């Protein structure tokens, strides 16, 4: 997760939505497990498993092998829990207590989706179903009975708050959102509430972007138009499921020249990364 491994490693072992069904079936069959769930988000890749032949080391090796990594590349970055410690860990995760942004609510939905995906792939059984129900009940109680859920925060809201500090008047800024999902929807919501009127949404499928664009009065463009759009953009937030970077160092360099080095605030919420790592240089 984000505490144990750098993003350069996390993005190598992330599972895209299109990979999950086959990965779950492969892991269950390869290691003769009874039940398997894979939780893969921008901040963590975790495997929850049950079975008589359970061996954390073998699961770790499967994870490395599945993604084409050398076994030693996971050294010092992995962790494992057994029995009741698994349940306690999942409860912390689903409650947002183990998140990069403490208390962020999106992780609860991501945990629920992970168990639903396992159910759909026929790798979820009675044991992990009980674990899931106990986890969901506890996470809901944490939200309603403690101060964790009192002030809703998220990675997008944190990003917009930082942007407010960087720009004299954020309402005069133009924003580019790449992708369409919950993170982008939250980003659009917070940008609109901050007074940003010039919002552009770039997505592979334009029809998927239209409902959100209509909601926040945003322009829609295709992904191949991003380099041209960057020239007139002050804030970029990305969160796609692409396996390859969408924004390159070259496109940023060209944009900065044409902007006469007027700065661009960029936030990459995707794993694997949407913005080439070399952009940081």
| Backbone φ, ψ for residue 70 (5° rounding) | -75, 145
Q: How is the chain split among helix, strand and coil, in percent rounded to 5? A: 50, 10, 40
Per DSSP, the residues of 216-246 read HT-EEE-GGGHHHHHTT-SEEEE----SS-S
C-alpha triplet 183, 184, 186: angle, nearest 5°: 65
Query: Rounded to the nearest 10 degrees, how much is the dihedral formed by the CA atoms of 205, 209, 211, 216?
Result: -170
Token pair 């962790």 is found at 79
CA–CA separation, 67 and 3 (whole Å): 21
SS3 182: helix
Catalytic residue among 42, 93, 230, 267: 42
C-alpha triplet 138, 143, 144: angle, nearest 5°: 100
CA–CA separation, 154 and 138 (whole Å): 20
265 sits in which H/E element? strand 265-268
Asked if 98 contacts 1 with a C-beta cutoff of 8 angstroms, the reply is yes
Pairing between strand 45-50 and 35-40? antiparallel
| Backbone φ, ψ for residue 66 (5° rounding) | -60, -35
Q: Six-digit token pair at 78? A: 């992995």
Residue 173 among the catalytic residues:
no
| Residues recognised as catalytic | 42
């Amino acid at each position: 997760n984000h505490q144990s491994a750098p993003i350069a490693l996390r993005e190598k072992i992330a599972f895209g939505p299109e990979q999950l069904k086959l990965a779950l079936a492969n892991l269950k069959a390869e290691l003769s497990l009874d039940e398997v769930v894979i939780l893969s988000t921008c901040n963590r890749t975790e495997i929850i498993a049950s079975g008589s032949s359970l061996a954390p080391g073998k699961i770790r090796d499967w994870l490395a092998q599945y993604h084409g990594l050398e076994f030693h590349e996971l050294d010092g970055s992995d962790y494992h829990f057994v029995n009741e410690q698994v349940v306690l860990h999942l409860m912390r995760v689903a409650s947002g207590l183990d998140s990069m942004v403490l208390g962020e609510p999106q992780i609860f939905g991501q945990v629920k989706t992970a168990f639903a995906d396992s159910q759909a792939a026929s790798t979820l059984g009675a044991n992990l179903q009980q674990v899931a129900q106990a986890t969901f009940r506890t996470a809901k109680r944490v939200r309603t009975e403690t101060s964790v859920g009192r002030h809703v925060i998220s990675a997008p809201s944190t990003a917009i708050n930082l942007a407010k500090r960087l720009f004299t008047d954020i309402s005069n800024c133009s924003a580019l959102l790449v992708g369409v999902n919950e993170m982008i929807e939250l980003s659009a919501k917070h940008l609109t509430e901050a007074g940003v009127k010039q919002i552009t949404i770039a997505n592979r499928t334009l029809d998927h972007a239209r409902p959100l664009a209509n909601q926040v009065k945003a322009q829609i463009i295709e992904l191949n138009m991003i380099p041209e759009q960057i020239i007139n953009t002050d804030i970029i937030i990305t969160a796609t499921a692409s396996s390859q970077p969408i924004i390159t160092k070259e496109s940023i360099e060209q944009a900065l020249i044409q902007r006469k080095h007027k700065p661009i605030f960029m936030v990459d919420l995707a794993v694997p990364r949407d913005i080439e790592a070399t952009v940081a240089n």
